């Protein structure tokens, strides 16, 4: 599968909050990552993925930083696989149960 091209800038108010990522990402991760703390590669903002602005009009889901608009995550689901691009995320801190 080829990476989707960079989406054009969406309308500023045409998005959902990052909580809408919970369902699509539940297939990929064993934990709910919407509470995970991501660091934006554009402005270095730290915050939970639930605070991202999620756009669903691209070929897949595009999650942007609420502060600078950087694309932090893209998720494309084909019939047989998921393609997750975290190019705009410097790090992702995921809380796990203590072992």
Residues that bind Zn ion (CB under 5 A): 40, 42-43, 45, 65, 67-68, 70
The nearest distance, CB 58 to Zn ion, in angstroms, is: 18
Vertex 6: Cα angle to 4 and 11 (nearest 5) = 120
Q: Which residues contact 24 (CB under 8 A, 6 or more apart)?
A: 61, 75, 77
CB of residue 76 to Zn ion, shortest distance in Å: 22
Q: Which is nearer to Zn ion, 68 or 84 (CB)?
A: 68
**Beta carbons of 42 and 71 less than 8 angstroms apart:** no
Closest separation in Å from C-beta 53 to Zn ion: 11
């Amino acid at each position: 599968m080829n990476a989707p091209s960079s989406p054009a800038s969406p309308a500023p108010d045409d998005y959902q909050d990052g909580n809408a990522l919970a369902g699509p990402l539940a297939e990929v991760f064993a934990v709910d990552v919407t509470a995970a703390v991501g660091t934006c590669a554009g402005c270095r903002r730290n915050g939970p993925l639930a605070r991202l602005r999620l756009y669903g009009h691209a070929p897949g889901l595009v999650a942007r930083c609420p502060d600078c608009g950087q694309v932090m995550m893209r998720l494309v689901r084909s019939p047989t696989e998921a393609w997750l691009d975290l190019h705009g995320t410097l790090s992702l801190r995921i809380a796990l149960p203590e072992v």
